[in-house]
A and B are shown apart, each in its own frame.
Chain A
């Protein structure tokens, strides 16, 4: 009796995990195979457009991959020194600086994109004051990438590098540095020859995350992209124009390509083997070593300064500029003093934007709460399954999939899966948004639970409980769950903030139930800047508060 029930529960859980989390991530690719004929007719042999779609798809992919690649390269260059400082130095206020570094991972991307936009282009931003004339059309020569898009992508992805690398550095013995130096190596040489090989696996997996995030980034990119069209933006655009075939094809290409790139690297870096390589032929070492000596001796200050500047320009400045601009425009336009141009007027005046904003806020709160709630229920058994069974690690790896699937591709997949082309049960609306958010919330919560389980050595205590006569269920209830509860709650809050800020997928699946983070994009596009300022500030402040709560809980 009890056994049958257990099987039934496991079956229900497995089915819901599969349909709610894995299926949406993979559906789009399978669709490209199933509907190949239709895709072929529209994209490769379109009677009206020829291969225009194909060219556009290739163009956006080329831009997105180039963008992601350059972003990751810059992330690594800028992020490594910061990771090094976090891992090896102790100073007052280090906690706070670490928190600030992680901000871009939790604050809503559209709000952050808007903050970056006004920082670089508006008259309240510092760069205008410095005489820099930058706008969304500014292209960086040589690499031929839109400047603001690159900046935003760096801001939103460098924390992945810092996080994974500083964790890896903390695990390597700092005495290697001392030994190497005592053997006559300069700090830079030590880094290249000793430290770097030791942290390479983590550097790679951090880079993969950063790359995937850049490849799929939609919310902030929509705001700063101007006329540039990255792949995720093309998906959003085509979907909104009801051009499903090219959108779906591009989406599945994007997913497939990110897998092709990510899986081998993840596999390589998860192998616990010695990584031994040398970047420079031995006969040329002499020149490099001398150069490194010189740089180490004369440019040591660069590390701290570069790290500080990175944090300031990429994270702190946009947030401060946003809040500052909001306060300046609050009750009147600062230059003319006109009330009609103020935020208050826009919100409460004849256009009554406040109605739009408050409706979006309510929608967002419902979405985030319900999505988080459902995700928690799926996550608890998933965590137990992962830590308690042999096949757990497979599930854990599979759960990384939703984290690297570009969100706009995910959104499209959801529409096609649940809407009238697929199951025909749920159409773009608040409900589809909730289901979509469940897809990426579950992995976040599960990962928090699993890593807490491993770190706190829960297994050991469970073993003790069992030897004292507790049944499996007693043990789960009285030992396992209480021990990982805190991290679970922290993970849930993190999922909640992600949900609050998600833009790329939400844009496609929300129908008329606009969430606050997507509203920001609409507001910027329709030039309702006052309301955009207000909403972005609100989003960022809420994210900051939630971050503070997470910190309190996990301390």
Chain B
């Protein structure tokens, strides 16, 4: 039984010139876990991956693999398989030769190399493709071959930097689940970088969110979706967000009653930061958490300014007292919007945060 490694990243800081790519990042990845690291462009995802792999040295901090500080272990001795965005199968070698490359270059004898290779090819069900060159494979098979090659090197931890690359969404959706089951079947630990929140939500055991070189939240997809730690995360996990300003009227356990002056309504919101009564706060309301009521009764009413049709839902921009809310409305029998039509709204879930110093706009910007 081969031990699957546990990775611990402790207080890692990486500075390039005057750019702080990573700022005091700590992280623990458990045996056999499939972790997605997600964050906007330039947030330090690739840098973190390269530091774990040992391709880049951290300015400060340590990486532990199975409790051993590997700072001075060169990357070829860490037992980590790296699969980068542009996959990088050796173009001059057939699939089989790509997979047999690691045992071969480690100096194993010919028989052993062959048996390792055949075993992996069987496990990964690439048998029919072994005599092809990489450029004759689909993106998915290339990706699988790259993982097979990493496994052949003895890696029990696979690091993938944007493995879906520029794949169109339909193929990406299928491929990412194939990747996940492959890695789970082989019993490997994986870190998968993406900037696509949907991708992360659908495959990760846990998600790590990076922003400006800092880890801002770690948790299962559900934990993060239902408890976004700040306004930015509320927007990032979910895609769109109505960020509103409000005032605390009352606190009841984990919830607060907030007056949103601009809409002229009061709502109940989950408390995410420490707040006090009377304080100005930031409110996060996801487009899917606002309901439109079938009949307008004249309370909390808005006018449709514009809408977009996405097949299974409408995206509606509703003007409520001169504040425009973005609302996702699932297709319903009675709902076929026209501009100027009036609807009442019901906000079913909202989060309340301390009012961000930099203002609402900036707090949720992807930059």
A is bound by B: yes
Q: Which residues of A are interface residues toward B (Cβ below 8 A)?
A: 173, 175-176, 178-186, 189-190, 193-194, 197-198, 274-276, 282-283, 285-286, 289-290, 293
Q: What A residues does B152 contact at CB under 8 A?
A: 183
Residue of B nearest to A197 (CB): B92
B92–A182 touching, CB < 8 Å: no
Is B225 an interface residue when CB atoms closer than 8 A count as contact?
Answer: no
**Is there an interface contact between A176 and B90, defined as CB atoms closer than 8 Å?**
yes
| Binary interface encoding of chain B residues 78-121 relative to chain A, with 1 for a CB under 8 A from any of its CBs, else 0 | 00111010101011111000000110111111100100000000
Contact check, B86 vs A173: say whether CB atoms are below 8 A apart: yes
Which residues of B are found within 8 Å of A194, using beta-carbon distances? 90, 92
Say if the beta carbon of B149 comes within 8 Å of chain A: yes
- A198: chain B residues within 8 A (beta carbon): 91-92
In the complex, the answer to whether A275 meets B92 with C-beta atoms within 8 Å is yes
Contact of B105 among A176, A193, A197 (CB under 8 A): A193
Docked-complex contact B109 and A178, CB < 8 angstroms = no
- The residue from A180, A190, A197, A286 contacting B110, defined by CB atoms under 8 A apart: A286
Which single residue of chain B is at the shortest CB-CB distance from A292?
Answer: B105
Jot down 29 A-B pairs with beta carbons below 8 A, ordered by A: A173-B88, A175-B88, A176-B90, A178-B55, A179-B88, A180-B101, A182-B53, A182-B55, A182-B75, A182-B81, A182-B82, A183-B149, A183-B150, A183-B153, A184-B153, A185-B102, A185-B105, A185-B106, A198-B92, A274-B92, A274-B133, A275-B92, A276-B92, A276-B93, A276-B94, A283-B110, A286-B108, A289-B105, A289-B106
Contacts of B133 in A (CB 8 A): 274, 276
A179 touches B82 (CB 8 A): yes
Task: Collect the chain B residues with CB atoms within 8 Å of residue A186's CB.
Answer: 105
Q: Which of B104, B105, B113, B133 has the largest count of A CB atoms less than 10 A from its CB?
A: B105
Q: Known interface pairs A182-B153, A286-B109, A290-B107. Does A176 touch B88 (Cβ–Cβ under 8 Å)?
A: yes
B76 at the interface (CB under 8 A from A): yes
A287, closest chain B residue (CB): B107
Inter-chain contact B92/A286, CB cutoff 8 Å: no
Instruction: Give Cα A416 to B237, complex, Å.
Output: 81
Task: Kindly report which residue of chain B lies nearest to residue A192, judged by CB atoms.
Answer: B105
B151 to chain A, nearest CB (A): 11
Contact of A184 among B84, B105, B135 (CB under 8 A): B105
In the complex, are the beta carbons of B104 and A289 less than 8 A apart? yes
Q: Which residue of A lies closest to B101 (CB)?
A: A183
Residue in B closest to A181 when the chains form the complex, CB atoms: B76
Using CB atoms, name the residue of chain B closest to A275: B92
Q: With a CB–CB cut-off of 8 A, which chain B residues contact A282?
A: 104, 110, 113
Closest CB-CB distance, A188 to chain B, in whole Å?
A: 10
Are A180 and B105 interface neighbours, CB within 8 A? Answer: yes
In the A-B complex, list the 9 residue pairs whose CB atoms are closest, starting with the nearest.
Answer: A185-B105, A197-B92, A183-B102, A183-B153, A184-B106, A289-B107, A283-B110, A276-B92, A290-B107
Which residue of A is nearest B153, CB measured? A183
* A interface SS class: helix
Supposing A175-B88, A198-B91 touch, asked if A184 and B102 sit within 8 A by C-beta, the answer is: yes
Rounded to whole angstroms, the CA-CA distance of A290 and B81 in the bound complex is 22
Q: How far is the CB of B57 from chain A (nearest CB, A)?
A: 14
State the CA gap A275–B90 with chains docked (Å).
11
What are the residues of chain A within 8 A of B55 when measuring CB–CB?
178, 182
- Across the interface, do B88 and A189 meet the contact criterion of CB distance under 8 Å? no
Chain A contacts of B94 at CB under 8 A? 276
**B contact residues around A193 at 8 Å (CB):** 90, 93, 101, 105
A residues in contact with B105, CB < 8 Å: 180, 183-186, 189-190, 193, 289
Contact B81 A175 (CB under 8 A): no
Residues of A near B84 (CB, < 8 A) are: 175, 179
Name the residue among B92, B106, B135, B149 with the largest chain A CB count within 10 angstroms: B92
Q: How large is the interface on B (under 10, 10 to 19, 20 to 34, 35 or more residues)?
A: 20 to 34
Given contacts A179-B88, A185-B106, A289-B107, 19 further A-B contacts (CB under 8 A): A173-B88, A175-B84, A176-B88, A180-B90, A182-B81, A183-B81, A183-B150, A183-B153, A184-B76, A184-B153, A185-B102, A189-B105, A194-B90, A276-B92, A276-B93, A282-B110, A285-B110, A286-B109, A289-B104
In angstroms, Cα B80 to Cα A193, docked, is: 21
Shortest C-beta distance, A196 to chain B (Å), equals: 9
Nearest B residue to A176 by beta-carbon distance? B88
Which of chain B's residues 139-158 have a Cβ closer than 8 Å to chain A? 149-150, 152-153
Known: A173-B86, A175-B88, A194-B90. A182 touches B76 (CB 8 A): yes
Is there an interface contact between B108 and A274, defined as CB atoms closer than 8 Å?
no
Q: A178, A189, A190, A197: which has the most chain B beta carbons within 10 Å?
A: A178
Give Cα distance in the complex from A293 to B94, angstroms.
24
Q: How far is the CA of A175 from the CA of B90 in the complex (A)?
A: 11
Question: Bound complex: CA of A149 vs CA of B88, how far in Å?
Answer: 44
How far, in Å, is A458 (CB) from chain B's closest CB?
28
A272 to B110, CA, bound (A): 32
B107 in contact with A181 (CB, 8 Å): no
Q: Which residue of A lies closest to B152 (CB)?
A: A183
Report the Cα distance A293→B104, complex, angstroms.
12
Q: How far is the CB of B112 from chain A (nearest CB, A)?
A: 10
Closest CB in chain B relative to A58 CB, distance in Å: 40
* List of A residues within 8 angstroms of B104 by Cβ: 282, 285, 289
Q: Known contacts A181-B75, A184-B102; is A293 also within 8 Å of B107 by CB? A: yes
Which A residues lie within 8 Å of B149 (CB)? 183
B109 touching A175 by the CB < 8 A rule? no
Would A286 and B88 count as touching, CB distance under 8 A? no
- Measured between beta carbons, the chain A residues less than 8 angstroms from B91 are 198, 274
Q: Give the shortest distance, in Å, between A294 (CB) and chain B (any CB).
A: 10
Q: Which residues of B contact A183 (CB under 8 A)?
A: 76, 81, 101-102, 105, 149-150, 152-153
Min distance, Cβ B227 to any Cβ of chain A, angstroms: 37
Q: Across the interface, which residues of A come within 8 angstroms of B113, CB to CB?
A: 282
Most buried by B among A185, A189, A190, A293: A185
For A196, the closest partner residue in chain B by CB is B92
The smallest beta-carbon distance between A210 and chain B, in angstroms, is 24
Interface string of B270-284 (1 = CB under 8 A from A): 000000000000000
Who on chain A is nearest to B105 by CB?
A185
Question: For A285, what are the chain B residues with a Cβ–Cβ distance below 8 Å?
Answer: 104, 110
Residue from B102, B104, B110, B153 having most chain A Cβ neighbours under 10 A: B104
Q: Across the two chains, which residue of chain B brings its CB closest to A178? A: B55
CA–CA, A191 to B38, complex, Å? 35
For residue B76, which residue of chain A has the nearest CB?
A: A181
Q: Which residue of A lies closest to B75 (CB)?
A: A182
Chain A residue at minimum C-beta to C-beta distance from B89: A179
Give A179's nearest chain B residue, CB to CB. B88
Please name all residues of chain A whose beta carbon is closer than 8 Å to the beta carbon of B81 when the two chains form the complex: 182-183
- Report the minimum CB–CB distance from A90 to chain B (whole Å): 14
Residues of A within 8 A of B53 (CB): 182
Least CB distance, B326 to chain A, in whole angstroms: 39
**Would you give the shortest CB distance from B137 to chain A, in whole angstroms?**
13
User: Which residues from A are CB-within-8-Å of B110?
Assistant: 282-283, 285-286
Bound-complex Cα distance A66 to B90 (A): 36
Please provide the chain B residues from 37 to 88 with a CB less than 8 Å away from any CB of chain A in the complex.
53, 55, 75-76, 80-82, 84, 86, 88
Assembly CA distance A178 to B86 (angstroms): 13
Distance between Cα atoms of A283 and B108 in the complex (Å): 10
Q: Which residues of A contact B93 (CB under 8 A)?
A: 193, 276
Q: Which residue of B lies closest to A277 (CB)?
A: B92
Q: Which residues of B contact A190 (CB under 8 A)?
A: 105
State the CA gap A50–B90 with chains docked (Å): 59
Task: Give the distance in Å from the alpha carbon of A173 to the alpha carbon of B53 in the complex.
Answer: 19
Contact string against A for B residues 201-223, beta-carbon threshold 8 Å, 1 for contact and 0 otherwise = 00000000000000000000000
A197 to B104, CA, bound (A): 17
- B residues within 8 A CB of A293? 107
